[in-house]
Amino acid sequence: MKVTVKVPATSANLGPGFDCLGIALPLYNEITVEETVMPGSGIEINIIDESDSYDILSIPKDENNLAYKAIELLYNFIGQTASDLKITIKTNIPVARGLGSSASVIVGGLVAANELLSKPADKALLLSIASEVEGHPDNVAPALFGGFCLSSLEEDGSVSYSKIEWPKNWKLTVLIPDYELDTKIARSVLPESIPIKDCAYNIRKSAMIIDAIYRKDSEMMKKAMKDKLHQPYREKLINGFKELNEFLANKDDILGCVISGAGPTILIVSENNGFEKVQNEIKQIFEDLNVSCDIRTYEAENEGTLVI
């Protein structure tokens, strides 16, 4: 028996919502989990790059694979051992680009294995296990549930979350550069402590962004997608981000420009074809900096992980 699921890409933080806000995008990985025919054959992990454009050599094919780690925790929960499994990951989500590639395989492995085991875990437990493996729920929540999610990893290991409808006329454009940025490196540049005034700033902006999305308030959204916790420190790792922000400041119908997750992908939120109006100038900015990037515009993905 085998189960295949498809899991969307995600963009986390959206500026101020560090480690707690995220949104799903219609770009998918497929994960298949199946029981091997021969007992004692062990674990087999196959990685297939369907886009044929991203480096997948860094993805582990042993017990260190994130999908397997998540599956192992689920099996342990029901008192079984995750042995004699074949895991196949078809990747379309760029690796190490800030689009939730790790979250997708964690969630995909969990959901597929849960189906294989006749659903011993509910979605709350799956979200908790996924957050434990990932370290935070900002990507795994929208990967599992779709749409825009607010999530919080609680002290007891559970995850509280809320899904809010994303305005249909707000487009999401991702600028995916042709280089990777390891999340560990992106986190290493963050300071160990933050001034209280910067924390207060982000609390205000996080509250504003949730309210803006809930009320579909474009003017509020323009004021909300600001950050002082991580972007000022990470922007030096992301070619073109500072220049792009300066160019887009006060542009009509551009609601915000932020680092997607830990980067290096940049996320632009716009309405009324706002991005299309300035895309040629944006392309020129990156050409002048000798930065090559793949530019894609999406609507929010609202379904989350689906069993195929």
In a shared domain, residues 96 and 143: yes
Are the C-beta atoms of residues 254 and 170 closer than 8 Å to each other? no
In CATH, what number is assigned to the domain containing residue 119? 3.30.230.10
Instruction: Identify whether residues 30 and 143 lie together within a single domain.
Output: yes
Is residue 51 predicted with pLDDT exceeding 90?
A: no
Statement to judge: residues 212 and 254 lie in one domain: yes
User: Number of helices (H) and strands (E), helices first, in the chain?
Assistant: 10, 11
pLDDT for the residue 57: 64
Q: What is the CATH number of the domain that holds 210?
A: 3.30.70.890
Does 93 lie in the same domain as 187?
Answer: no
Q: For residues 209 and 223, what is the distance between their CA atoms, to the nearest angstrom?
A: 8
Catalytic residues: 134, 183
> What residues form DSSP beta bridges with 271?
170
Q: Are 96 and 199 found together in one domain?
A: no
- Estimate the crossing angle of helix 101-116 against helix 123-134, to 10 degrees: 140
| 175 in the same domain as 158 | no
Shared domain for 49 and 135, answered yes or no, is: yes
Pairing state of beta strands 306-307 and 2-12?
A: antiparallel
Domain count, the chain: 2
Closest to 89 in 3D by CA, of 113, 69, 111, 61: 61
Paired residues of 175 in beta bridges: 266, 295
Expressed as residue numbers, the domain containing 123 is 2-164+301-307
Please say if the pLDDT value at position 12 is more than 90.
yes
Give pLDDT, residue 53.
54
* Range of 46-50, 97-101, 154-158 with top mean pLDDT: 97-101
Which residue from 143, 55, 136 is spatially nearest to 96, judged by alpha carbons?
55
The predicted-structure confidence for 113-147, as pLDDT tens digits, reads as follows: 999 999 999 999 999 999 999 999 999 999 999 99
For residue 82, CA distances in Å to 33, 58, 87, 184, 254 come to 11, 23, 11, 28, 47
Same domain, 81 and 145: yes
Q: What is the pTM of this model?
A: 0.93
Are residues 87 and 206 part of one domain? no
Alpha-carbon gap, residue 34 to 46, rounded angstroms? 12
Phi-psi label, residue 267: left if phi above 0, alpha if psi -120 to 50, beta otherwise? beta
The answer to whether residues 245 and 294 belong to one domain is yes
Q: Are 7 and 25 in contact (CB under 8 A)?
A: no
Q: Quick one: pLDDT band at residue 28, thresholds 50, 70, 90? A: very high
The pLDDT score that the predictor gives to residue 3 is 96
3-state SS, residue 5: strand
* CA dist., res. 3 & res. 113, Å (int): 7
pLDDT in tens, 65-105: 899 999 999 999 989 888 789 999 999 999 889 999 999 99
My answer on whether 120 and 197 are in the same domain is no
User: Are both 143 and 8 inside the same structural domain?
Assistant: yes
The pLDDT value recorded for residue 97 is 93
Taking 70 as the threshold, does the pLDDT of residue 41 lie above it? no
